[in-house]
Every structure is written in structure tokens, then in C-alpha cells.
Amino acid sequence: MKSIKPDSATLSITADRSVFWKDERMSDEQLAQWLHASAQRHPQPKDFMRGDRQAGLPARRPGDGGCAEVRAC
């Protein structure tokens, strides 16, 4: 039996805190909808977040409640 590989996506946060997915800008509402839909998928997708250092967001590591654990919002 062939296993199904989960999709992957990268969210990017720019210095002005704009959020992009696949080079498309997302509103806060679109981001919330995307995260909710992503959390419902099986197998779970491999979602990654990439932030500009100028954005002033706190650094997170897997295991500290950061981006790696953003699954079911």
C-alpha cells in the first residue's frame, strides 16, 4: 500500500507584518480560514512559517508552543 504524503505550504511574514501564501497576500480573515482548513486536513499538511527579522515577532522553536504546534486554531 502506498502512503500518502502530506501537502506542504510556507507562510511568509514580511517586515511590515503582511502575510503571504504562495506569493499571494492574505488578510487576517483569510489567514484564519486557511489555518482552520489546514488543521482539518488528513494527513496533516507540513506547514512552515518564515518571518522577516524586521517584523519584530518572537523567535520560536519546536516544542515551545511556537509555530510548529500551530495545528488546530
Residue 58 reports pLDDT greater than 50 = yes
CA-wise closest residue to 13 among 44, 51, 41:
51
Q: Is the pTM of this model over 0.75?
A: no
For residues 2-31, average pLDDT: 82
Instruction: Count the Cβ atoms, other than its own, within 10 Å of residue 5.
Output: 9
In whole angstroms, give the CA distance from residue 66 to residue 68. Answer: 6
Q: What is the residue-averaged pLDDT of the chain?
A: 74
| pLDDT score at 27 | 93
**Per residue in 22-48, pLDDT tens?**
788 999 899 889 888 888 888 877 777
Mean pLDDT of 57-73: 50
